[in-house]
Amino acid sequence: MVPTSYNYGSVEVGKEASAQFTIINLGSNAISNISINVSDPNFSLDNSNSSTPCGSTLEANASCSVQVLFKPTQAGNYQGTLNVQAEKIVISAILYGQAVKTSTSITVTPTEYNYGTVQVGNEAYATFTIANKGSNITNISTSITGESFYVDASATTCETSIEPNASCTMNIVFKPTKAGTYEGSLSVKSDESNISVPLYGESLSSTWPTAWIPYIKIYSTTVQGLVKYSVAPSDTESQNVNLEGITYDWDLNGGTLALGNNSTQSILVAYDKAGSYTTKVTIKGLNGEVAFVEFNPVTITSNDKFSISLNKIAISDKWMRAPTDMWVRISILNIPDDDNYDGTIFLLDNQPVAQTTTKYAIFNIQNPGTYLLTAIARTKNGLQATASKTIQLIHGTSPTCQIAEIGPRISNNKVMLEARCSVEYGYVKKLEWYVGSSPVPIKSTRITLRTSDSNEGPVHLTLKAIPDKGPHSTWQFVWLER
């Protein structure tokens, strides 16, 4: 469920605030018998559109959303939970809210703060502003809860009261002493209200692990073989290790790098020849630490009787821009006389994208980048052959435009302007003109202005150039009558 917690901030008594929560089924099976409830009566489900917003069943890889309202009946701090139950699954989100009287004048910004990840022993700072927006002086008191959060008195201007239409600032420090997640709060009490601001933080230790564990995932052991290698701290150490700044130097021992690079924690290696291969990696830390990991040998065998090639690839976008559809086809180079082709699985960066009993497939790629396309074909008798190719897709680009006066004056009181726009990859699909902030019902490259338009000063023109794929660009032009 996203988010796992939500703070409605300060809400006046009798008014309401709404928040959306998304429930996601990441599993491969549908989830049934779904029930949703809220623990505190000041929080409620918004059933204005449906009494069961998510229904009773959530399909695999699907999601649904629910709206939860916070409508307090009296001033105070509130905490509740949004509970989702389905079969043996129970997930919850924590709800926070502060109800204030309509006459309250104290505000605290920001209303919550996440310090992110801070290494053990280091510090992170956040400044909070307490403002009195009322017409009377207001007494205040502040306090901090939560381990590793404290007030930096030297950078704090708040005292025991705030004048009308004035404010003060507090500097709160997060200094973790050990690895883990932290929660705390800043409490601001005034004559009229009690405001609580949640504080969050996380810390990772830079402790060098006592052991590095090698992991191997074999996709194919026949030429062309594909094997994924990765290393990670031992399970007992993984929660206390900051992997930032660590480098990896791989010895592929005759293999070819198919995905990743020689300094990443995980790589995919291709083998074009039969043989036994032993991969090694040298791991170096920021403080000069070094570790050596040797993987178990991997044996790649030849398969002369069944082989394929991946030599027919077509991309619907001729400029190789994402998103786009891709059409791929394999060719069978060799197959035993007593065997028959059974089907192919196509993978993109080792993730299945299509499975077919024919020799071709069509699928969509949404994002630009460099991808490893792999086809794994099989026969009725269980033989397997693999072929791979690298595909690179680019971003769509924004148009560039020039606006200029063209030709002789149409008459004494008319002038024509023309926009010349181009885009490096693709074409300009549409133009939109604006005079000031008002759209002009002209979609062509030319626009005609009357000189009377400039009687009261320069005319500000805006041109929006929209390409067939990629971000649009906006060009502004100021026309003055000469």
Mean pLDDT of 82-104: 85
Please check whether residues 408 and 474 belong to one and the same domain: yes
The rounded distance, in Å, linking the Cα atoms of 260 and 292 is: 19
Sole residue written with tokens 């200094």: 175
Residue that terminates a domain, selected from 67, 100, 133: 100
State residue 454's pLDDT score: 53
Residue that terminates a domain, selected from 353, 372, 393: 393
CA 132 to centroid of chain Cα atoms: 37
The rounded distance, in Å, linking the Cα atoms of 79 and 289 is: 47
Please check whether residues 190 and 239 belong to one and the same domain: no
Please check whether residues 286 and 262 belong to one and the same domain: yes
Nearest to 67 by CA among 86, 47, 41, 90: 47
Please check whether residues 281 and 317 belong to one and the same domain: no
- Would you say 11 and 70 are in contact if contact means Cβ atoms under 8 Å apart? yes
From 152-156, 420-424, 433-437, 446-450, the region with the lowest mean pLDDT? 446-450
The rounded distance, in Å, linking the Cα atoms of 302 and 70 is: 66
Q: Which residues contact 440 (CB under 8 A, 6 or more apart)?
A: 433, 434, 447
Residue 354: pLDDT above 70? yes
Please check whether residues 197 and 110 belong to one and the same domain: yes
The rounded distance, in Å, linking the Cα atoms of 140 and 134 is: 13
- Would you say 182 and 172 are in contact if contact means Cβ atoms under 8 Å apart? no
Please check whether residues 258 and 190 belong to one and the same domain: no
Domain tally, the chain: 5
Strands (E), 71-193: 76-86, 89-100, 106-109, 113-119, 124-132, 138-145, 149-151, 161-162, 166-174, 180-190
Residue 188: pLDDT above 70? yes
Please check whether residues 370 and 455 belong to one and the same domain: no
Check which CATH number belongs to the domain holding 244 and give it. Answer: 2.60.40.10
Q: What do you get for the CA distance between the two ends of the chain, in Å?
A: 63
Residue that terminates a domain, selected from 153, 185, 204: 204
State residue 228's pLDDT score: 92
Q: Which residues contact 427 (CB under 8 A, 6 or more apart)?
A: 467, 468
pLDDT, one tens digit per residue, over 236-277 is: 555 556 666 688 899 998 888 888 776 788 889 998 888 899
- Would you say 148 and 175 are in contact if contact means Cβ atoms under 8 Å apart? yes
Q: Which two tokens stand for residue 166?
A: 């004035």
State residue 125's pLDDT score: 93
Q: Which domain holds residue 316?
A: 307-393
Please check whether residues 217 and 153 belong to one and the same domain: no
Q: Which residues contact 87 (CB under 8 A, 6 or more apart)?
A: 31, 32, 33
pLDDT, one tens digit per residue, over 306-353 is: 888 887 889 998 899 999 999 999 998 888 777 889 999 999 999 999
299 by DSSP, 3-state: which?
A: strand
- Would you say 286 and 246 are in contact if contact means Cβ atoms under 8 Å apart? yes
Please check whether residues 367 and 430 belong to one and the same domain: no
Q: Which two tokens stand for residue 324?
A: 């786009």
66 by DSSP, 3-state: which?
A: strand
Mean pLDDT of 43-58: 80
- Would you say 313 and 362 are in contact if contact means Cβ atoms under 8 Å apart? no
Please check whether residues 96 and 144 belong to one and the same domain: no
| Phi, psi for 453 (deg, rounded to 5) | -65, -25
Please check whether residues 115 and 52 belong to one and the same domain: no
The rounded distance, in Å, linking the Cα atoms of 463 and 403 is: 9
Please check whether residues 123 and 79 belong to one and the same domain: no
Mean pLDDT of 75-93: 90
- Would you say 162 and 142 are in contact if contact means Cβ atoms under 8 Å apart? no
